[in-house]
Copies of this chain bind each other. A is one copy, B any other.
């Protein structure tokens, strides 16, 4: 049977999602835990490949078990996993899915959030969990960024927001929404799309801060999109502030 797990993880001490033989990865750690829990090796497939240092409030992954392996009621799987998982991963829920279900190909859309801590001094409680941005932003930075972000909504060729050297050919994606809000000294970018190019959210965050500094407006953002040129966009914001926040099937 195939079980869809929802996970949370703090990405700081992981070399990303995808299994690597000599590195601590979320997939590798989860695979080991599942083997202990279910008493058999099972293939685990994720909804995306988060990078080193990137977090997940809601990551989706399937575990494929032989028919006899799971004797644990689905609703008890999250607590049953806990003793086999390190403190930086937890399983939030488990549900049965059909054998044909694919956690990556069947995604309708995903939502990411990107957190920017705007303050002269870094906060020990936020280390690794935000982009600490100590350069000057305007007092109405979040409003400016939010206005600028509207240019991203809809179907566009996002080639300008893809890491240089990526081999993806179809760079058109549909952004469902992209909003920017500020709470105290944290600016949060929230973006949902049917798919994301490599480093897309981090490059968008690194570009939106230019709007917060008064150096980019919506028209400028439209030009960056139209250029289909990575060099036209801003820097790639660090992984620390990025959270996969929702996966919708």
Q: Which residues of B contact A121 (CB under 8 A)?
A: 78-79, 82, 90-92
Q: How many copies does the complex hold?
A: 2
Q: Does A223 contact B (CB under 8 A)?
A: no
- The tally of residues in A whose CB lies under 8 Å from a CB in B reads 22
Q: Does A36 contact B (CB under 8 A)?
A: no
Q: What is the interface of chain A mostly: helix, strand, loop, or mixed?
A: mixed
Q: Which of A15-23, A122-130, A151-159, A195-203 contacts B (4 or more CB under 8 A)?
A: A122-130
Give A172 Cβ to nearest chain B Cβ, in Å.
34
Q: Which residues of B contact A79 (CB under 8 A)?
A: 120-121
* A79-B120, A121-B79 known; A88-B8 Cβ under 8 A: no
By CB atoms of chain B within 10 A, which of A9, A88, A121, A128 has the most? Answer: A121
Within 81-102 of A, Cβ neighbours of B (below 8 Å) are at 82, 87-92
Give A151 Cβ to nearest chain B Cβ, in Å.
32
Q: Does A187 contact B (CB under 8 A)?
A: no
Q: Which residues of B contact A82 (CB under 8 A)?
A: 121-122
Asked if A8 and B120 make an inter-chain contact with CB atoms under 8 angstroms apart, the answer reads: no
Query: Within the assembled complex, what's the spacing in Å between the Cα atoms of A238 and B78?
Result: 24
Q: Does A224 contact B (CB under 8 A)?
A: no
Asked if A124 and B78 make an inter-chain contact with CB atoms under 8 angstroms apart, the answer reads: no
Q: Which residues of B contact A128 (CB under 8 A)?
A: 87
Q: Does A10 contact B (CB under 8 A)?
A: yes
Asked if A122 and B90 make an inter-chain contact with CB atoms under 8 angstroms apart, the answer reads: yes
Asked if B127 and A87 make an inter-chain contact with CB atoms under 8 angstroms apart, the answer reads: yes
Q: Which residues of B contact A129 (CB under 8 A)?
A: 125
Say which residue of B10, B89, B123 sits within 8 Å of A90 (CB atoms).
B123
20 contacts between A and B (CB under 8 A): A8-B123, A8-B124, A8-B125, A10-B125, A10-B127, A55-B125, A78-B120, A78-B121, A79-B121, A82-B121, A82-B122, A87-B127, A88-B124, A89-B124, A90-B121, A90-B122, A90-B123, A90-B124, A91-B121, A92-B121
